[in-house]
Amino acid sequence: MLDFSGNMLSGSIPSKLGNLRNLQILRLTSNRLTGSIPSELGNCTKIIKLDLGKNNLSGRIPPEITSLPKLQSLFLQENKLSGAIPDSFLSIQSLFELQLGSNMLDGTVPCSLSNLHHFSSVLNISHNRISGKIPGCLGNLDKLQILDISSNNFSDELPTEVNNMISLYFVNISFNHFSGKLPATWAILMASYPGSFMGNSELCLLGNEARYCGEFKEQRHTRGGVLAGVLIGGVISVALICALIYILVVRSLHKKYFNDPSLLQESQSRTEELPDDMKFEDIMRATEDLSDKYVIGRGKHGTVYRTESTNSGKHWAVKKVNLSETNYCAEMRTLSLIRHRNVVRMAGYSIRDGNGFIVTEYMPGGTLFDILHRCEPRMALDWKTRFRIAFGIAQGLSYLHHDCVPQIIHRDVKSDNILLDSEFDQRLEILGWQS
C-alpha cells in the first residue's frame, strides 16, 4: 500500500508508479496534484483500491484504469477530468464503488457499467456535464445501493428497467432535465429523500399536486382530470402495495436468517470485513473478552473498547452494538462511505452472536470534554489550539452536510463526540449519527 493522502503534494503523478506490479492500494487523495492520470497505472494489475480524488487532475480518464481486473474501489471525484466515461468495464472485475462526482465529464453513461456483477455500493457521477438518456442497461445493477446522477444534463424519460435495481436505498437525480413519470420503485424512495428528485420541471412526481403527468395537464379542468386522478391514485396504490410486499419479504428473510443458525453463520461470514492485520479473535484476546477495564466510552448506541492488532501492535477502537437495537446494516453502509480527515474513519466491522462490532481508528487523546473537564491536572488549551479544533470540526461537518453521499446531518455535535489524538488533531465521532 502507498498512502500519500492529505500531504499537499504538487506536480504530476509519476508514470513510474506503473512499475509497481504488486501494488494493491494507492491513495493520493486531498493533495494538489495536476496533469493527467498516467495510463501506466493500468500495469498495476493487482490494485484493488485507487483513490486520486480531491486534486486538480485534468484530461481524460484512461480506459486502462477502469478495466483493471481486481479493482474494487475507484475514487476520482473533485478533479477537473473531462471527456466521456470510458466504455471499458469488464464482467471479470470486482468493482463495487465508483466515485466520479464533481468533474467536467461529458458524453453519455456507458452500458459496459452493467457488466459489473459485483457493483454493490456506490455509483456517483454527480456534478458533471453528462447528457442523453439513462440507458436501460443500468437496470442490470441489481445490487447497487446508492446512485447519484444529480446536477448533470440528463434528459428524456427514466427507463422502466430501473425498477430492477432492487437494492437501491438512496437515489439522487435532482437538477437534470428528466420528463415523464417517476418509476414506481423510485416513488417509494422519494418519500424518504424528496429533495433528491427536485429540479426536473417536466418530471411527474407523485403526490405533488402542481405537477401532474404531462398527458393529463391539458385536461385538468375536464373529465380527463378525473381520469388523471384515478390513474395517479392507482399508481400510488400500486406503490404502496409494492412497499408492503417489500416490508413483508424483508421481515420474512430476517426471521429466516435469525431462526436458522447455518444461514446466519453464512451471512456473517459474508459481511465481516476487518483490517488486514486483525482477526476477530484478536479483538477478544486484546480486550480479555471485552473486559470493562478496556472500555473507553459508553453511550446509548453501544460500548467502545480499546484493542490492538496482534501482528502489528496497532491500536484500534471497537464499538459493540446490539443488532436488535440499531440499524446496523444502514450504519455500516454509511460509515464505509465517509472519507474525511476530520471525521473518524471506519476500518472494518464484524457480526458475531447477535452483536455488531465496528472497528475505527483509535484516538489516544480522548474526547474534548475529557480535556476540558475531566483531566487532572487540568490542561490549558490556548486560543490557537481551540480555533484549530473548531475549524477542523467545521470542515468535517461541511463534508457530511454537503459532499457526503448520502448527505448526513449529525444532530449530536458536542465535546464528548470530538476526539483528539496525541497532537490535538481532531476527528468528529459519528458512531451514533442521525440523518
Q: Which residues are annotated as a binding site for ATP?
A: 320
> Of 133, 127, 140, 125, which Cα lies nearest the Cα of 61?
125
Q: Which residues are annotated as a binding site?
A: 320
Active-site residue, 421 included: no
The torsion region of residue 37 among left (phi > 0), alpha (psi -120 to 50) and beta comes to beta
Q: Which three cell numbers stand for residue 384?
A: 490557537
| 3-class DSSP assignment, residue 26 | strand
Given a contact cutoff of 8 angstroms between Cβ atoms, the answer to whether 194 and 170 are in contact is: no
- Phi, psi dihedral angles at 137 (to 5 degrees): -65, -20
- C-alpha 2/C-alpha 300 separation (Å) is 37
Alpha-helix runs per DSSP H in 142-222: 184-192, 214-217
- Catalytic one among 87, 277, 403, 412? 412
Q: Which residues pair with 318 in a beta bridge?
A: 305, 359
Q: Quick one: 294 exposed, middle or buried, by C-beta within 10 A (0-12, 13-18, 19+)?
A: middle
Dihedral angle sign, alpha carbons of residues 116, 173, 432, 414: positive
Alpha carbon distances (Å) from 404 to 76, 132, 147: 14, 26, 13
Given a contact cutoff of 8 angstroms between Cβ atoms, the answer to whether 275 and 25 are in contact is: no
The residues, ordered by sequence, that sit 6+ positions from 303 with a Cβ below 8 Å of its Cβ are 290, 295, 297, 319, 320
> Of 55, 48, 113, 115, which Cα lies nearest the Cα of 84?
113
Q: Quick one: 283 exposed, middle or buried, by C-beta within 10 A (0-12, 13-18, 19+)?
A: buried
**Residues catalogued as catalytic:** 412
